[in-house]
Amino acid sequence: MRSPGWAGGDPDSLGGVTAPYLGSSRAVPGAAATVARLSAAALEHNAALALERGPGPVPALYADAWGHGAEWVTAVLAHLDIDPAAVDAETLFGLPEPDARTRPVLTLTGRVLSTKDLRAGEGVSYGYAHRAAADTRVALVTGGYAQGIVRMLGNRVAVRIGAALHPLIGRVAMDVCVVDITEHPVSRGDEVVYFGDPRDQAPSLAGWAAATGWTAGELVTAAGLRAVREVRG
């Protein structure tokens, strides 16, 4: 991924959201972090299907287990007496293909840093790639291309905050994104779900793949390698 020049502003503020630049090259410690929420139950559920399918073209432990954490994945599979070399990685990690019976293991989340009203005609992020067609309320959320949120996703996908989906608008910045929250109330600190299990009303990696031309495996690896990992049952 190529990165643009960067200047000006505080990444924990929307004060510069209508300026050519959004944020700063100096990230606030911890503020830009995304979280990769890992489901042990999903990994265990997928493991038998992955073993049935057999080894895929890319090993399951490649690139720190496709961003999921090789040490953790190895430990879970060892508990099930499964050799990581014997399974199909895409099935194991519950990617949109090739098996619809699987469950996504990794859910990528961020949080709302701040909110701001935009007037009609005001633009956001690099080059004003998005201009508000009407008065709009937006949120600055953690996660940018430095965290594996591919820049091509701007103006093409939505995130989930609470029970509602909100469009990601403007170009993805280094450590943050801007989201349109006009239709539903959002507060500072709210969790932002970038992708996860569609059965939980989370956006799917399939949508990211369609928007970028990347594979689901490339996308989950890019994000998982750069996120703080939290294992859940």
Give the global pTM. 0.85
**Token pair belonging to 187:** 């507060």
The reported pLDDT for the residue numbered 213 is 95
What's the pLDDT band for 126 if we cut at 50, 70, 90? confident
Q: What is the pLDDT of residues 203-228, one digit of tens each?
A: 999 999 999 999 999 999 999 999 99
DSSP 224: H
Terminal Cα-to-Cα distance of the chain (whole angstroms):
33
Q: How far is CA 13 from CA 38, 62, 126, 182, in A?
A: 29, 37, 16, 18
Q: What is the pLDDT of residues 137-189, one digit of tens each?
A: 999 999 999 999 999 999 999 999 999 999 999 999 999 999 999 999 999 99
Quote the CA–CA distance of 145 and 166 in Å, as a whole number: 19
Answer whether residue 17 shows pLDDT above 50. no
Quote the CA–CA distance of 129 and 119 in Å, as a whole number: 15
Mean pLDDT over 89-99 rounds to: 90
- Structural domains of the chain ordered from first start: 37-92 (no CATH), 106-232 (2.40.37.10)
The reported pLDDT for the residue numbered 22 is 26
